[in-house]
Amino acid sequence: MSRSMSSGTNSRGMAATATAGAAGKDTAVAVTSRSPWLPCLLAWFLPGAGHLLLRRTLPGLVLMAVVLTTFGVGLALDGTVYAMDPDQPLSYLSTAANVGLGPLDLWARSLSYGGLRYRIPDSRSGAVERERILQVMRARYSAPTHSYGRTFLLTAGLMNLLLVLDVYDYCIGRKPYRPQCAPAEPESAA
C-alpha cells in the first residue's frame, strides 16, 4: 500500500493529510495523527458520540438514534442480555457482543439478572446460585417476544462495536474523512 501525502494542521490541532490520487487530484482528507483512544472510548460509552467528536454530525446523530432505538426496542420486547455460562460456550461470544453496548449494557443487565452479573455459575460448583439467577431470567423468558428482544439487544451491541471500529479507522486515516457529511466527490471518468 503506497501513500503519497502532503500534510498540514487544521484548526483543531489535528494534522490533516491530503491523499493524492494517481492523476494528482486530491480527493479525500484523512485525519492521521489523532489518537484514537478518546474517540473510541467515547464511541463505546455513547453510541455515535465518537462520530460527533470527529465532526461527522449527521452520521453521528443518525447512528446514535439507530443504535439507541434498537436497544430500546430490545428492552421493550422483554429481551435479556447474555451472561457467560460455562455450560454454553457460545454464550461467551454473545456476552462480548452485549458488552459492546457500553454503559447501556449495565442497565439491561440489571433488568435481566437483577444485578450486574456477567457470569452464571456452572451447575456443579454453584447450583444454588445458578438456579436463583435462572429464576430471575425465567420471568422475562415467559414473554412471547423475548427472543426477538434478545436479538435486538445483540444487534445493538454489535452495531456499537462496529461504530467503535469505524471511529478508529477515521482516526488512523484508514477511511476517507469528510467532516459534516459533505457529499461524496463524483468519481472521475477513467
Tell me how far apart the alpha carbons of residues 156 and 66 are, in angstroms, rounded to a whole number: 8
20 DSSP β-pair partners: 26
Q: Which of 84, 150, 157 is nearest to 118 (CA)?
A: 84
Tell me whether residue 33 or residue 145 sits nearer to other proteins (CB atom).
145
Q: Does 57 bind other proteins (CB under 8 A)?
A: no
Q: Does 184 bind other proteins (CB under 8 A)?
A: yes
Q: Does 151 bind other proteins (CB under 8 A)?
A: yes
Give backbone dihedrals phi and psi of 10, rounded to 5 degrees, phi first: -90, -175
Binding residue for other proteins, selected from 152, 164, 170, 173, defined by CB under 8 A:
152
Selected range binding other proteins among 33-41, 58-66, 83-91, 94-102, rule: CB under 8 A: 58-66
Selected range binding other proteins among 3-11, 15-23, 120-128, 147-155, rule: CB under 8 A: 147-155
- List of E strands, the chain: 5-9, 15-20, 26-31
Q: Does 63 bind other proteins (CB under 8 A)?
A: yes
Tell me how far apart the alpha carbons of residues 167 and 53 are, in angstroms, rounded to a whole number: 10
Binding residue for other proteins, selected from 14, 20, 41, 73, defined by CB under 8 A:
73
